[in-house]
Amino acid sequence: MLDPRQTNFLAYFLDPKSETYSNALQSALKAGYAQEYAESMLYQLPDWLSENLGSEKMLKKAERNLEEILDLNTVEPLIQNGTLVIDEAGNRIERHNPQLLKEKKETTFFVAERLGKKKYAERKENINVNIPTPIYGGESVKTLPDYGDRIISPNNSDKKAVSDDKENS
């Protein structure tokens, strides 16, 4: 767990929109560190900073790789028995590499689901039949066996349960 100064330092130092982006001294001072500590922070490289900078570096690599895969050309020349296949006019015949196409498709879905959650993420509905249905005003309720037909709701008000026979009439 990071303390507030550590969190603020990382936000100031790593966010390209920050006034102190990529400036460790100014980011540390803005986060509330003393001048002496701020000046030596990158040289001392405490564990919390090393771990977070390492994670940031790996994230940048992952983003670079995602871009490369998204831009990946999946079309390649058709080769049969070690020979380039050409048509009657002498043009090479090309086809989509199914494995590259699959990788590109999966990466595209991965990025779209995470960066475009509202637009592309698949909804996962919970269809657990043991969840009580909300009634009157959308409150979930729970019948307690030791209280018979009394129901306890989240707002702690007691309600009388209505049997299925009375509810349907």
Looking at per-residue confidence, does 159 or 21 come out higher?
Answer: 21
pTM beyond 0.85: the answer is: no
pLDDT in tens, 28-85: 999 999 999 999 988 888 888 888 887 777 777 878 888 888 888 889 998 899 899 9
**Rounded to the nearest 10 degrees, how much is the dihedral formed by the CA atoms of 4, 9, 14, 19?**
120
Is 13 within 8 Å of 6 (Cβ atoms)? no
- The string of DSSP letters for 92-119 reads BPEEE-HHHHHHHHHHHHHHHHHHTHHH
Question: What end-to-end distance do the CA atoms of the chain give, in Å?
Answer: 57
If you count them, how many residues does the chain have? 169
Output the average pLDDT for the chain: 77
